[in-house]
Amino acid sequence: MPIQYLTADAVRVAEHATGDLLANGTLMRRASAGVARAVIGELNRTGGCYGRAVGLVIGAGNNGGDALYAGAILARRGVRCSAVLLVPDRAHAGGLAALRAAGGRVVDVLPVSLDMVVDGVLGIGGTGPLRPAAAEVFAQVTAPIVAVDLPSGIDADTGVVNDPSVRAAITVTFGAYRNLHLLAAPRCGRIDLVDIGLPPTDTPDGLFSLTDADVAGLWPVPGPADDKYTQGVVGIVAGSARYPGAAILASGAAVSATSGMTRYVGSAADQVVSHYPEVVAANGLADAGKVQAWAVGPGMGTGDEALEILRTVLATDLPVLVDADGLTVLAQNLDLVRGRSAPTLLTPHAGEFARLAGTGVGDDRLSAVRALAAELGATVLLKGRITLVATPTGRVYGNDAGSSWAATAGAGDVLTGIAGSLLAAGLEPALAGACAARVHALAAARAAAGAPIGASALLAAVRPVIRDLRNA
C-alpha cells in the first residue's frame, strides 16, 4: 500500500478522534517513549547509555513536553540530561517536573560535550525559521540531532526549509507521516514512525509515495496470452541531427522498461536502430503504425515541425507524455492540452515548469505542481531530488530519490522512455510517472555507487533495478 502523508490539520483531527487517549496524556507518553527509544538505540550503538550526555532544546507546548518526558526516561537509564528552556514560563509543566524528578537538570547553555541533542522546539503548528534564541543554541550544536515530530524551522505542510532551521540525523514522528517527511526528507534524516494509536486517515487528494513493493506489483510483465502488441506499443518522438542522443536514450529506456514494442519517429532513426535493433523506426507519424501511447519531446526541436507533431499527437485519444522541447512548444500553445480528455503526462524540470505556469516553482513545490495540474487538466511530474507527480484532482505521488546522481544530461530522456512505455502498457499517468521516477532514481543510485555517472550508465541500470524490485 502507498505511504500516506498528512497535513497538520489532518493530524490534529486524527489526534482528537482518539478521545481520552489525547485528553489523559496517553498519546504524549507513547510519543515520548518513542523518542527515548530512538535516542537509546543510537547510544547503544556507540557504547551504551549509562553516563552519556544528551541535551534537550525545549520550546513551548506539547512538542517540548514530548522531549521533556523523553528526557526523564533517559535520565532514569543513567543518561545525563540537560535541558535549555527557550520559553521558561511556557515549558510543559508535567514534562519538566518528570525530568527534574528523574535527575535531569535545567541549564542556561547546553554543555559543550554532548552525545546527542533532542530538538523539542517546534511542532506541526510552528511556522517560519528558528527564532534567534533557538538559532543561537543550535549554532553551537555539533552532536547528532533527534527531532521530535519535525526538524524545527521546516513547515509541516509545504516542506519549506526556512533559514535558519534544524538538520536532523533522526526524526521521530507519531501515528502518521507528515507532508514534510517527504517534501523535506534530506533535512529529516532517518524517520522513525511511532504507533501511538491514531485511527487510519484517508485523504484521496493527499500526498502519497509508492513503496518498492507497490512499484514491483504495478510493473507490467507478460502473461500467458500476451504478445508484443498487447503488452503496449509506445511511440517515441525524440532527437534530431543535433541531439541524436536524446532519441537513443529515450528509445533505449522504453525498450528496457517493458516487453512490448517501441516505435521511433524522428531524424535519428539510423542511430537509434544501430543501438537498439528491436526498435521499429518510421519516417513520420503517418508511417509509424499503431501505438498505445506517445512520448514526445526530448531533443526534437522547437520549430514549426515540432509544433505540428505535438498538435497531431495531442489530437488523438491516446495517452501522451510531453517532455523537454515538447514542453517548450506546449508552453506557447497551452490550448493543445487544456480540456484534453485522454491521459496526459507532462514532465517538466523547474525551468520548463516556469514556462508552462508563467511563474517559477517557488519554495512551495507541492502547491505549485497541484495548481498547474489543475489548471491544465493534465498530470504534471515535477522533476527534482523529490519528484512530485500531481493529478488534476489534487492527488500527488512523491518520490525521494535519496541522492542527486540523476542530475546529469540526458537523464530526463531516460525517464521519458520509462514513463512512456508504462503509459503504453496501460498505467494511468500518475502511477506511470511515480513508478518511472522510482525506478529512475534507483537506477541512478545503482549506476553511480558513489561516483558521478552519465545517462548511459543510468540507462544500463534500469533493467537490473526492475529485476531486483520484482524478485524482492
Annotated binding site for AMP: 383-387, 412
Q: What angle do CA 242, 243, 249 make, to 5 degrees?
A: 160
Binding-site residue positions = 62-66, 119, 123-129, 149, 152, 246, 299, 349, 383-387, 412-413
HSE-up of residue 112 (Cα within 13 Å, Cβ side): 0
Binding-site residue positions for K(+) = 63, 119, 152
3-state secondary structure of 354: helix
Amino acid at 263: R
Our separate counts of H helices and E strands in the chain read: 19, 19
Instruction: Give the strand pairing for 320-322 and 80-85.
Output: unpaired
Report the alpha-carbon distance of residue 136 to residue 421 in Å, rounded: 52
- 317 near 342, Cβ under 8 Å? yes
What is the strand order of the sheet 190-194 is part of?
105-107, 80-85, 53-58, 116-120, 145-148, 170-174, 190-194
- 151 near 187, Cβ under 8 Å? yes
Phi, psi of 269, deg, nearest 5: -60, -45
Axis crossing angle, helix 429-448 with helix 411-424, rounded to the nearest 10:
140
Q: What angle do CA 81, 83, 84 make, to 5 degrees?
A: 155
Sequence-ordered alpha helix ranges (H) in 278-364: 304-314, 325-331, 350-357
Binding-site residue positions for (6S)-NADPHX = 62-66, 123-129, 149, 246, 299, 349, 413
What DSSP assignment string belongs to 113-170? Answer: --SEEEEES--TT--SSPPHHHHHHHHT--S-EEEESS-TTB-TTT--B-SS----SE
Distances (CA, A) of 3 to 9, 43, 184, 213, 398: 18, 29, 16, 11, 10
- 56 near 120, Cβ under 8 Å? yes
